[in-house]
A and B are shown apart, each in its own frame.
Chain A
Amino acid sequence: MKFVLSWLDDLAPGIAPVGADPHPLAERMTALGMQVEEILHVGLTVDGVITARVLRTERHPDAAKVHRVWVDAGDGVERHVWCGAFNMAPGDVIPLATPGTTMPDGRSIEPRPILGIDSQGMLCSARELGLGDDHSGILILPPETPLGVPYADALGLESEVVFDVDLTRNRPDCWGHLGAARDVAAHLGVELAPATPPLEAAGDARSASVEIVAGDRCHRFTTVVLSGVRVTSSPDWMARRLAAAGMRSINNVVDVSNYVMLELNQPNHAYDLDTLGGHGFRIRLASDGEQMTTLDGVVRTCTAEDLLICDAHDVPIGIAGIMGGLDSEITDGTSVVAIEIASFEQTGITRSMNRLGLRSEASGRFERGVDPYGIDRAHARIVELLRLTCPDLVVHAGAVDARSDALAPADRSTEVRVSQVNRILGTSLDTSMISSLIAPIGYVTRSVAVGPSGDVLTVSLPSWRTDSHEEIDVVEEVARHHGYDNIGLAVPNSTMHGRLSPIQVRRRQLREVLLGAGLSEAITASFLHEDDLAAAHLPADAIRITNPLQADEDVLRPTMRVGMLQAIAFNESHRRSGVQLFEIGHVYPPGDRSTELPPEYEGLSVALAGGDARAAMQLWREIAKAMGLGARVDQSRVPAGMHPTRSATLSLGKDVVGAVGEIHPDVCDAFGVTERVAWLELDLSRLLAVEPKIAQWKATSRFPSTDLDLAFVVPDTVAAEKIDKGIRQAAGTLLVDLSLFDVFRGTGIEPGSRSLAYRLRLQAVDRTLTDVEVAAVKDKTVATVSKMGAVLRG
């Protein structure tokens, strides 16, 4: 909302005097919740810019982008100026910024030499003078413009200071200048200017009839008939204010309508009574599919939830509160008008706006809430302003004021406990302080009673504050006018202790392990393309977004794999191979749809470009060791989309908690990844929830240890993990360390088998082992693993 300061000062004299520094007012308004985003100087004149006539122009052989212009500023002295624009011809009158001028953008005009030749000023474009957006060339003034005078005088410019304010939803009243003026005036202890006196009818009875059919949607609908209207142009001051507020001047009738809307936040419409069918209005819901053309020329198809303003013959002439129909405008020949001002239910307007995708100055105001009892003042103000251009204006008797049962009462009020104000704000305000803070903005204390916890005020709720309903709303008004800055600072006496949860601690540990292993962290897209799942060999069942930003990116990721492969492909395409990435984030599998929300969980994904399955296993073991985790590596269950002979499922009990191995080469191809990709994914919601066992002390032996090296030929079909387990079981408690130190396939080993060489370190806590004991371990181990198909090598 744009507030014109002179307009605010009209409504509350003294709050924004002409010529005063606007910054203190801007700070005050911001502190009251009307955040001034920008201070605009509309039509600001720049001192030092005078009119001058172009005498001649000349190119300089060494200057390609500028030329030389000689001008006369009315004193007969020839002045030379360098200029980068070429749109002027000798004889043109142009604005000349003389040396010493400070331009609106802060530039100072100096006699700046080019090629050693001074420039005695600068010729200005419209934009440089703050006169609009035109920067295509120098502003050419009318040929009869006198020379040597300030350009602003020549153009008849007067400046307005305008605040562009970001209004919040709880301030519907501020969509008119009056609302902001009232708030500032209350804060400064200034009186508002008196309102226009109520309307007095002078003419005979002429009415525009009103029938409210949809009373729950249209709460009040009023009409006043005026004759003697002459459609002409508006006074300059009104056109200028409208322009400053961002609206174009059309004619006196439309301008007054807009002016009153901007002043009093009362959208209104002037209908030509002679062309209004049946000289009256019907306000009803549309029928499904009913069409009408709005004044922007678009055919709108309505539903049974849209509210229409129809003429008395039931022909739609406007979508209520949003936009009038194509033929509802007055014409140059209009002389009798019906002024309509109404009050509509807010949420119905919002829904229609959203459904129709149609917004207007009026609908934005009705959506936020318009004072149903400000209508009468608006009628009076319209007449007062129209009289300025229509001296023969007649206000006819027979004004119609139709009200529905849903109209909010004019005397709404709520109880406000003084104790509650102080309990929420941390203040120690008493009854009279509270009353005097909020009475000037319409929250008048009607009575005070004594309740169990002190005074209880009955406070009236102003009809223009449609957002105010209950005690807490009034507490906020007290806070605003007491001043947020005056509330003070206190720190709660917390009995709580700040800390991370065990899961949060472990997540941080996990990140450290991954970073230490050389991996960097990615955050990949949450939304996938329709085709991505198939390309990744993943099930098509996924949660979809019903209103995606990009029509084909509507899949909620059930895995991070797609995003990680895209990241690798992206980096490959920028000559960065071997990228090692991890991501910790939520994934959203659809589950069986038996729960209120999908079985979303936090997962870890790791992609090692150029790495193989062993690298993935190595990382898993690194993580498992650091974090005290464990899971079964089951190579008989190949996770979807992964390399069929180099991947395994990680499981805890019956539950799958991860996958390890390599991405299927077909999947890599599909995502344009040329490197092999080692892959690890873990369900952190399961794995981090497991509290690791706290290690308990075991005595380290003081006696010497013995190493026993055993190599076995083992068929490829038998997992090394199985042999490992067999050895551990057979060697029993004497085995303190076991390592697989060599895997060999080739000469001497029959195809389909490999040699696995293990080193067993044996040690007892209480003695030195004898050769006999060592031999016994060896025999038992060989016997155990031979049952698994392992043959001891010579």
Chain B
Amino acid sequence: MSDIDRDLPLLDDVAAARDAGLARILTAASVDEVVGIDADLLGKKGSLALLKTRLGSLATVDEKKAAGQALNAATQAVTDAIAARRGELARAERAVQLERERIDLTEELTQPRRGHPHLVTQAWQRLEDVFIGLGFQVAEGPEVETDFYNFEALNMPRSHPARSGFDTLFTDYSGPLAEDGTVLLRTHTSPVQIRVMQTIEPPIYMVMPGRVFRRDTPDATHMPVFHQIEGLVIDRGITMAHLAGTIDAFTKAFFGGAFTSRLRPNYFPFTEPSAEFDIQRPDGSWIELGGCGMVHPNVLRAGGLDPEEWSGFAFGFGIDRMARERHGIDDIRDMYSNDIRFIEQF
């Protein structure tokens, strides 16, 4: 230590201010208090700043140098202590805050908001998606139809006995063209086949889902209003093997790779040869799924296509039944009850 040190009262004042400051910092209880101390010591009018103004009154360069170094060291010490104390206090305060904010996440006061799509919609979209994957597009048509589209164009002329099997609901609507009593509620989605053939040039690869109507008394397995999906393929060189192959591809895509399908002879006026298609579960049991067949030449003609140039197949089955079987629903009427306790199950 030099003589100058000993003789300079400023150095003592710096040391005192530094020590007092460090003491306050160490005992500061909050970040806010530390911020206050920061201003008191290091601010423009802080105690260390005031000591700095006394440098000018020192006599020698050496003295000034010695005092300046002491001041800088004190400022640095105080600054470091403030930063350290501040960080320490901030962490403690955050810890207190975090503990205060503790929540029991299993206190569930509100129910999930999302609603439930209808089971028919769910099955409908699943079927659409599978057929889209198989290269089909989706067509739709009116539910109130003419006799022509629902029957006549489908190879069921006026006196055809198969008509009686459809339990048709007729309307009193009579437009300018149609005869009275020929506007009806479609009994199947097949009229859309004709509308598609009339509007789209082949090749046609379409599925046609929709609502259909029968004069059926509601019971556990029947509703007067239900839903079908229909498929129609028309192209050059389409054969019954393509029908069987498409049904099988659908079976595997929709139900799973371990399911197989078979066709067996049946009768529909609008297809010939006609078939029923059955699906076999991996356990060997069978599901009778729907009807299909090669589009009848008369139907192709009604759709404006030459049966010598084009051939095709069609298939169809119930959508509601898919939903019913998937979810094990005993009574199909429940699906149309609009009972929220039913809807929320799915």
Contacts and interface: CB of A to CB of B under 8 A. Distances in A.
Interface residues of B, number: 86
Contact of A515 (B115, B216, B296): B115
B241 A585 contact: no
Interface in B213-253: 213, 215-217, 224-225, 233, 235, 237-242, 244-246, 248-249
B16 interface: no
Interface in B172-214: 172-178, 181, 183, 185, 203, 205, 211, 213
B120 interface: yes
B344 interface: yes
Contacts of A524: 338
B233 A425 contact: no
Contacts of B56: none
B94 interface: no
Contact of A523 (B135, B176, B177, B338): B338
A546 B170 contact: yes
Interface string B276-309: 1000000000000000001011000000000000
Interface in A446-473: 472-473
A517 interface: yes
Contact of A350 (B164, B262, B338): B164
A423 interface: yes
Contact of A484 (B265, B297, B336): B265
A520 B137 CA distance: 27
A425 B240 contact: yes
B340 A576 contact: yes
A378 to B, nearest CB: 23
A574 B341 contact: yes
B159 A426 contact: no
Contacts of A544: 171-172
B142 A600 contact: yes
Q: Looking at B121, B175, B249, B340, which has the most chain A CB atoms within 10 Å of its CB?
A: B340
Contacts of B265: 31-33, 168, 476, 479-480, 484
A600 B240 contact: no
A766 B192 CA distance: 57
A511 B121 contact: yes
B264 A484 contact: yes
A66 B29 CA distance: 89
B75 interface: no
Given A426-B240, A516-B114, A547 B215 contact: yes
Given A169-B162, A520-B344, A600-B143, A548 B169 contact: yes
Interface string A544-586: 1111110000001000000100110011001010011110011
A307 to B, nearest CB: 15
A504 to B, nearest CB: 6
B49 interface: no
Interface in A18-33: 30-33
A499 B170 CA distance: 34
Contact of B135 (A476, A494, A590): A494
Contact of A472 (B174, B181, B235, B297): B297
Interface stretch (A276-284, A485-493, A727-735, A740-748): A485-493
Interface stretch (A8-16, A90-98, A142-150, A591-599): A591-599
A586 B263 contact: no
B273 A500 contact: no
B178 A521 contact: no
A758 B138 CA distance: 47
Interface in A580-620: 580-582, 585-586, 588, 590, 593-598, 600
Contacts of A424: 239-240, 273, 294, 311
Contacts of A586: 142-143, 211
A72 interface: no
B117 interface: yes
A523 B118 contact: yes
Contact of B115 (A35, A350, A518): A518
Given A170-B267, A494-B235, A549-B215, A475 B135 contact: no
B245 A490 contact: yes
B175 A488 contact: no
A576 B181 CA distance: 43
Given A498-B133, A521-B117, A600-B142, A488 B244 contact: yes
A426 B239 CA distance: 5
Interface in B71-126: 113-118, 120-121, 125
Contacts of B134: 498
A547 B214 CA distance: 11
A739 interface: no
Contacts of B172: 543-546
B241 A487 contact: yes
A522 interface: yes
Nearest to A30: B264
Interface string A374-403: 000000000000000000000000000000
B161 interface: yes
A649 interface: no
Contact of A487 (B120, B138, B240, B339): B240
A581 B338 contact: yes
A626 to B, nearest CB: 15
A367 interface: yes
Given A476-B272, A598-B173, A571 B340 contact: yes
A465 to B, nearest CB: 13
Given A33-B265, A473-B272, A520-B340, A545 B170 contact: yes
B144 interface: yes
A347 B161 contact: yes
A519 interface: yes
B135 A567 contact: no
Contacts of B272: 472-473, 475-476
Contacts of B146: 596-597
Contacts of B262: 484-485
A586 to B, nearest CB: 5
A515 B116 contact: yes
A501 interface: yes
Contacts of B114: 515-516, 518
Interface of A: 30-33, 35, 168-171, 346-347, 350-351, 354, 367-368, 423-427, 472-473, 475-476, 479-480, 484-485, 487-492, 494-501, 504, 508, 511, 514-527, 543-549, 556, 563, 566-567, 570-571, 574, 576, 579-582, 585-586, 588, 590, 593-598, 600
17 contacts: A33-B267, A35-B276, A168-B267, A479-B273, A484-B273, A484-B275, A487-B263, A490-B242, A494-B233, A500-B132, A500-B137, A501-B137, A515-B115, A524-B338, A570-B338, A571-B340, A585-B211
Given A479-B240, A497-B135, 4 more contacts: A354-B164, A368-B161, A425-B240, A567-B338
9 A-B pairs with least C-beta separation: A426-B239, A33-B265, A426-B241, A168-B267, A567-B338, A498-B132, A347-B159, A489-B245, A520-B115
